[in-house]
DNA sequence: TTGACGCCCATATGTGCCCATGGTATCCCT
DNA sequence: AGGGATACCATGGGCACATATGGGCGTCAA
């Protein structure tokens, strides 16, 4: 099975375009998607990006809610109103619009991060910070789960 | 399937017209609608707008009610008496009339917000406030559902 | 007559489509 | 094994069309 994996940093050109890594594009192509769906991360300055399957998964989630409750409305707003389609041009680039810049803080470079069924877009230095924090958390988790090794991180 | 998705802010011109985003128009065209149906949001300063299917969906909802109950009468009033048709001109614009202004507080700019099967019209700054509140609520929802992360936001 | 509205056209900016270039990794042939 | 050819990819830029916006003009009704 094809996954979104590894990461890469690409430059935004004078027209505000950036190449989506070829490997990510081939994953999308293999799944039959020529359009991208992007939505905000709620708690991080990043965007989750994937094919239409990503959108459909969220929509299925909304279906499960009572449509007369506020939660369903909130979810729909977040998924539909606060999401975006990113069109790939023929060379596999997307334009970095204000929506992306505002959410991520991206200005001149974009870090693409594979996440299995989707990928993320980050401002490179913020990603570096995030990566550090993730590793720290995992390390803590490990020392809690296995006290023998707590003094001995590899 | 084509959805109303993402959002955009367009200007109202001197004649009180505003362009409906091209993407939204193409969704309407693909569904075969050349006229728009708008109704008030009950709990928000916004309008729900869509094709005739939106009206039909509400009408079907009324059909399901007992016609002797007040609810059916209220619903019918709300949908028929308190709704409006918006005509698209040849360039894909609608005129922002008093009904719209009074309901939304719109004066010089309109925020169009995709909501899947329909879209909304908002006064941009009110939308911004709304968006903030939605994200807050969803974030709370999430930390309730996943307590492991609740103590560890970045 | 005046104002609202529909129809038409003009224009600047944005966006997509196309092709070119340079760098890099891979492959092939000798 | 070495060296050149080749394929792929990120990047840059030209060009045409779509879109948002502004404005003119005629029509119809109050």
Q: Is the CB of B98 under 7 A from strand C?
A: no
A85–B contact, CB cutoff 8 A: yes
CA distance B50 to B82: 15
Arch. (CATH architecture) of A7-149? 3-Layer(aba) Sandwich (3.40)
CB atoms within 10 A of CB B38: 22
Residues of A in contact with B151 (CB under 8 A): none
Q: Is the CB of A8 under 7 A from strand D?
A: yes
| pLDDT tens column, A59-80 | 999 999 988 889 999 999 999 9
Q: Is the CB of B44 under 7 A from strand C?
A: no
- Tell me, rounded to whole angstroms, the distance of Cα A58 from its chain centroid: 14
Q: Is the CB of B1 under 7 A from strand D?
A: no
Say yes or no for a CB contact (<8 Å) between A77 and B7. no
Residues of A in contact with B6 (CB under 8 A): 80-81, 83-85, 99
CA-to-C1' span, B84 to D13 (A): 48
Report yes or no: A121 and A111 within 8 Å, Cβ to Cβ.
yes
- Classified as helix, coil or strand, B36 is strand
Q: Which residue does chain B place closest to A129, by CA atoms?
A: B154
Q: List per-residue pLDDT tens for chain B, 154 residues long.
A: 589 999 999 999 999 999 999 999 999 999 888 789 999 998 999 999 999 899 888 888 878 877 788 888 888 888 888 899 999 999 999 999 999 999 999 999 999 999 999 999 999 999 999 999 999 999 999 877 654 444 444 4
B138–A contact, CB cutoff 8 A: yes
pLDDT at A147 over 50: yes
A41–B contact, CB cutoff 8 A: no
The DSSP output letter for B45 is S
Q: Which CATH number fits domain B7-150: 3.40.50.300, 3.65.10.10, 2.40.50.140, 3.40.1550.20?
A: 3.40.1550.20
Q: Which residue does chain B place closest to A130, by CA atoms?
A: B154
Q: Is the CB of B91 under 7 A from strand C?
A: yes
Q: How far is CA A86 from CA A6, A140, A154, B25, B89, in A?
A: 21, 37, 40, 18, 28
| pLDDT tens column, A107-129 | 999 999 999 999 999 999 999 99
Percent of chain A at pLDDT above 90?
A: 83
Say yes or no for a CB contact (<8 Å) between A82 and B120. no
* Minimal Cβ distance to A80: which of B116, B131, B137: B116
Q: Is the CB of A10 under 7 A from strand C?
A: no
- Tell me, rounded to whole angstroms, the distance of Cα B82 from its chain centroid: 15
Report yes or no: A41 and A104 within 8 Å, Cβ to Cβ.
no
CA-to-C1' span, B125 to D29 (A): 37
CA distance A20 to A51: 13
Say yes or no for a CB contact (<8 Å) between B114 and A42. no
DSSP B130-153: HHHHHHHHHHHHHHHH-HHHHT--
What is the structure's pLDDT at B154?
46
């Amino acid at each position: 099975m094809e996954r979104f994996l590894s990461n890469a940093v690409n430059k935004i050109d004078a027209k505000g375009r950036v190449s989506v890594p070829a490997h990510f594009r081939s994953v999308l192509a293999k799944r039959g998607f020529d359009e991208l769906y992007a939505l905000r991360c709620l708690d991080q300055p990043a965007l989750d990006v994937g094919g239409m399957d990503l959108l459909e998964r969220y929509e299925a989630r909304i279906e499960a809610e009572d449509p007369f409750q506020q939660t369903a409305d909130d979810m729909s707003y977040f998924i539909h109103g606060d999401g975006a389609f990113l069109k790939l041009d023929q060379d596999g680039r997307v334009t970095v619009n204000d929506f992306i810049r505002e959410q991520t803080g991206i200005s001149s470079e974009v870090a693409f991060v594979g996440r299995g069924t989707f990928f993320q877009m980050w401002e490179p230095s913020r990603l570096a910070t995030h990566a550090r924090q993730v590793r720290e958390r995992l390390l803590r988790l490990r020392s809690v789960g296995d006290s023998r090794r707590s003094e001995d991180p590899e």
